């Protein structure tokens, strides 16, 4: 897995799926690019225009709480965000993110020590996030092997395709 | 590993037992924190999540689904469709279902369909909808998943799940007048927070349950998701037995937590001391008593959703609204959770009472709760709602505000046009 490098965008606690992508958009399309134009609209309508590919979301507790809509991590990924780092994640968002190949890292204490615009470098294999602007390093809660494998394949679609191909 | 022994064990929790016996290759007992691969008894999806699952199923190289009789599609989130784009997604669901032999239910809320027609004790249900936790009300292990996972389950009939730790919420005593299951749920979420049960299995126990119907238990298990729970469950008892007898259905297995099972968190609720509660904008854990926010003006009152759109909810609202009128300038929207609820309410004269009071009664749908149609809030508008989420923009404009409450509190508030304690009318 390649190393991720980008700027930090901070969001607080309990960022819910309705602010990540309101139902009115996800009801009418399953096109990730169209969804990406409205990502985080409930908090910062200009967010999609400001993001550069490789940037990272740094959030507080319970990121992605609320609905089971996979369009939430899909819209984040399609907007160019390379990973989400949070103090904790809501469970369905966490599963969905891994299943669509959006890296998610749980790191306690990172929120307070990160500022908007800090340059972060993430080594997914090692589960390490380095804040290059502040010369700090953080270790993520280790991920079960099976989830790491899904993430390495870029998501559940490729993971299952490969497994089925091997079985034949 | 012997299934009978697992079920009888005094050491294992509900989640440990059911995720052990449902393993695809049942070799050993699975304890809290372990990952299991389990077979699914029912996989369900709605129109907000299923179109994406169909696309992903095809990307995975899927041709035939594993077992069409164990898959259910429900078109409920925007029904009937409010735009051509949404109609196209509904068309995709219907044509895929026809090709695969999958049942599609249109115009009933997914969790009400499952509760009325599918859920039995010991069933393992996954649904591409977060409120799938509802079905713990009859002793099923039921949890929400995303679209890609629904696609994978449609293909192979199995899913990986981590065995959750257990949180027990013990309901002591019985509920006072004007206080309902919704008030219990809001009180608990207020106590533990919106992530207080994240990844956990909530076991609702205690003597108050003996007087709570399956519908009320469904409200408790449904709202457990709002504290982050993976699943929620009410133990099988005389109420469950009576419910199944009435529907003519049998349990797959009766699964009870053992007396010595490991419970990570325990919470006690003194029910006689509870009051009508509200979750104030814009977080479900911003909980206050109705008395604290009494007098707050509202524009819309909504009774419906998978949380509180069942017959007993409509009956409670009708009890309060009988012979009274909805305040001028306020709209009361009532959305029964299913055709069955709608018909029962019609036959019992409940709809007549509600209509005479000035309510508008819609077809069963998730519309108002998810802010797509049939009750979308305008700029700065305030609603009181029997649904489950009050996030920013959930029911409409980002500047609108939502208070969550029991159907009785919603009905009382509709009469006065301001947030009102239902005990004033009981």
Over residues A109-159, the pLDDT tens digits come to: 999 999 999 999 999 999 999 999 999 999 999 999 999 999 999 999 999
**Alpha carbons B303 and B321: distance in angstroms, whole number:** 12
In this prediction, residue A22 has a pLDDT band, given cuts at 50, 70 and 90, of confident
* Closest CB from A16, A28, A71 relative to B83: A28
Integer CA distances (angstroms), B403 to B10, B16, B130, B419, in order: 42, 36, 20, 9
- Is the pLDDT at A41 greater than 90? The verdict is no
Place of tokens 């615009």: A117
- Report the residue of chain B nearest A98, measured CA to CA: B148
Distance of CA B235 to the CA centre of its chain: 17
What digits encode the pLDDT tens for the residues A60-81?
Answer: 999 999 999 999 999 999 999 9
DSSP state of B377: B
Instruction: State the pLDDT at residue B420.
Output: 98
**Alpha carbons B116 and B118: distance in angstroms, whole number:** 6
Instruction: State the pLDDT at residue B182.
Output: 98
| Domain positions in chain B | 3-161, 166-273, 279-424
State percent of chain A over pLDDT 70: 99
Long-range contacts from B339-347, C-beta under 8 angstroms, 24+ separation: B339/B107, B339/B108, B339/B364, B340/B108, B340/B112, B340/B116, B341/B112, B341/B309, B341/B310, B341/B311, B341/B314, B344/B311, B345/B311, B345/B314, B345/B315
Looking at per-residue confidence, does A29 or B412 come out higher? B412
Q: Do A23 and B370 touch (CB under 8 A)?
A: yes
Instruction: State the pLDDT at residue B294.
Output: 98
- Is the pLDDT at A2 greater than 90? The verdict is no
Instruction: State the pLDDT at residue A168.
Output: 80
Distance of CA B194 to the CA centre of its chain: 16
Q: Structure tokens of A109?
A: 């204490």
CA distance A119 to chain B (A): 29
From the candidate CATH numbers 3.40.640.10, 3.30.230.10, 3.30.950.10, 3.20.19.10, the one assigned to the domain spanning A4-167: 3.20.19.10
* Closest CB from B59, B128, B198 relative to A90: B198
**Structural class in CATH, domain B166-273:** alpha beta
Q: Do A61 and B195 touch (CB under 8 A)?
A: yes
- Report the residue of chain B nearest A29, measured CA to CA: B85
In this structure, the number of other CB atoms found within 10 A of the CB of residue B254 comes to 13
Q: Do B148 and A70 touch (CB under 8 A)?
A: yes
In this prediction, residue A26 has a pLDDT band, given cuts at 50, 70 and 90, of confident
Third-level CATH fold of B3-161 = Aconitase; domain 3 (3.30.499)
- Report the residue of chain A nearest B389, measured CA to CA: A66
What digits encode the pLDDT tens for the residues B334-349?
Answer: 999 999 999 999 999 9
* Closest CB from A30, A71, A88 relative to B198: A88
Determine the residue among B56, B83, B148 to mutate to test chain A binding: the one whose Cβ has the most chain A Cβ atoms within 10 Å: B148
In this prediction, residue A107 has a pLDDT band, given cuts at 50, 70 and 90, of very high
CA distance B130 to chain A (A): 5
CA distance A43 to chain B (A): 9
Instruction: State the pLDDT at residue A25.
Output: 81
From the candidate CATH numbers 3.30.499.10, 3.40.50.720, 3.30.420.40, 3.40.640.10, the one assigned to the domain spanning B279-424: 3.30.499.10
Q: Max Cα separation, chain B?
A: 65
Contacts of A14 in chain B (CB under 8 A): 194-195, 283
Instruction: State the pLDDT at residue B307.
Output: 98
- Is the pLDDT at A16 greater than 80? The verdict is yes
Question: Between A and B, how many CB-CB pairs are < 8 A?
Answer: 126
Contacts of B194 in chain A (CB under 8 A): 14, 62, 65
- Residue ranges of chain B with pLDDT lower than 50? none
- For the CA atoms of B59, B64, B69, B71, the dihedral, rounded to the nearest 10 degrees, stands at 0
Query: Omega of the bond prior to B381 within 30 degrees of 0, cis?
Result: no
């Amino acid at each position: 897995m390649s190393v991720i490098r980008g700027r930090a965008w901070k969001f607080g606690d309990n960022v819910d799926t309705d602010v990540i992508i309101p139902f009115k958009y996800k009801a009418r399309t399953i096109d990730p690019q169209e969804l990406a134009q409205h990502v985080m609209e409930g908090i910062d309508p200009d967010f999609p225009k400001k993001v550069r590919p490789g940037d990272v979301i740094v959030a507080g507790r319970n990121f992605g709480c609320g609905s089971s809509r996979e369009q939430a991590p899909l819209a984040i990924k399609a907007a160019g965000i390379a990973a989400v780092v949070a103090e904790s994640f809501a469970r369905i968002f966490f599963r969905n993110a891994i299943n669509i190949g959006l890296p998610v890292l749980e790191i306690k204490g990172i929120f307070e020590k990160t500022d908007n615009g800090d340059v972060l470098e993430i080594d997914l294999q090692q589960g390490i996030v380095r804040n290059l602007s502040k010369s700090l390093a953080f270790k993520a809660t280790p991920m079960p092997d099976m989830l790491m494998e899904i993430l390495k394949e870029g998501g559940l679609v490729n993971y299952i395709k490969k497994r089925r191909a091997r079985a034949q | 590993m012997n299934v009978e022994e697992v079920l009888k064990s005094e050491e294992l929790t509900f989640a440990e037992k059911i995720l052990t016996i449902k393993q695809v290759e049942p070799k050993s007992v699975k304890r809290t924190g372990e990952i299991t691969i389990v077979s699914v008894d029912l996989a369900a999806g709605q129109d907000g999540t299923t179109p994406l699952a169909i696309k992903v199923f095809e990307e995975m190289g899927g041709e035939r689904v594993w077992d069409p009789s164990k898959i259910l599609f429900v078109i409920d989130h925007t029904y009937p469709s409010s735009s051509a784009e949404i109609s196209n997604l509904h068309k995709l669901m219907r044509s895929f279902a026809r090709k695969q032999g999958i049942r599609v239910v249109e115009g009933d809320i997914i969790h009400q369909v499952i509760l009325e027609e599918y859920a039995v004790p010991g069933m393992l249900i996954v649904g591409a909808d977060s409120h799938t936790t509802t079905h713990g009300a009859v002793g099923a292990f039921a949890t929400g998943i995303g679209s890609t996972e629904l696609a994978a389950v449609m293909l192979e009939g199995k899913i990986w799940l981590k065995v959750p730790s257990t949180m027990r919420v013990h309901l002591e005593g019985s509920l006072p007048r004007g206080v309902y299951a919704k008030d219990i749920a809001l009180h608990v979420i207020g106590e533990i927070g919106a992530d207080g049960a994240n990844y956990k299995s909530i076991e609702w126990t205690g003597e108050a349950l003996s007087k709570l119907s399956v519908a009320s238990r469904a409200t408790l298990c449904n709202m457990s998701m709002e504290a982050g729970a993976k699943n929620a469950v009410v133990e099988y008892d005389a109420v469950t037995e009576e419910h199944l007898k009435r529907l003519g259905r049998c349990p797959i297995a009766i699964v009870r937590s053992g007396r010595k099972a490991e419970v990570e968190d325990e919470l006690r609720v003194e029910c006689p001391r509870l009051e009508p509660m509200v979750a104030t904008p814009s977080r479900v854990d911003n909980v206050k008593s109705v008395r604290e926010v009494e007098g707050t003006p509202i524009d819309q009152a909504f009774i419906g959703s998978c949380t509180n759109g069942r017959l007993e909810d409509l009956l409670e609202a009708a009890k309060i609204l009988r012979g009274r009128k909805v305040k001028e300038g306020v709209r009361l929207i009532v959305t029964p959770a299913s055709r069955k609820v709608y018909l029962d309410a019609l036959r019992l004269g409940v709809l007549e009472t509600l209509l005479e009071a000035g309510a508008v009664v819609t077809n069963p749908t998730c519309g108002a709760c998810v802010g797509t149609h049939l009750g979308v809030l305008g700029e700065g508008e305030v609603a009181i709602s029997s649904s489950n989420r009050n996030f920013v923009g959930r029911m409409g404009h980002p500047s609108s505000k939502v208070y969550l409450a029991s159907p009785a509190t919603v009905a009382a508030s509709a009469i006065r046009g301001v947030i009102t304690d239902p005990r004033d009318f009981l």
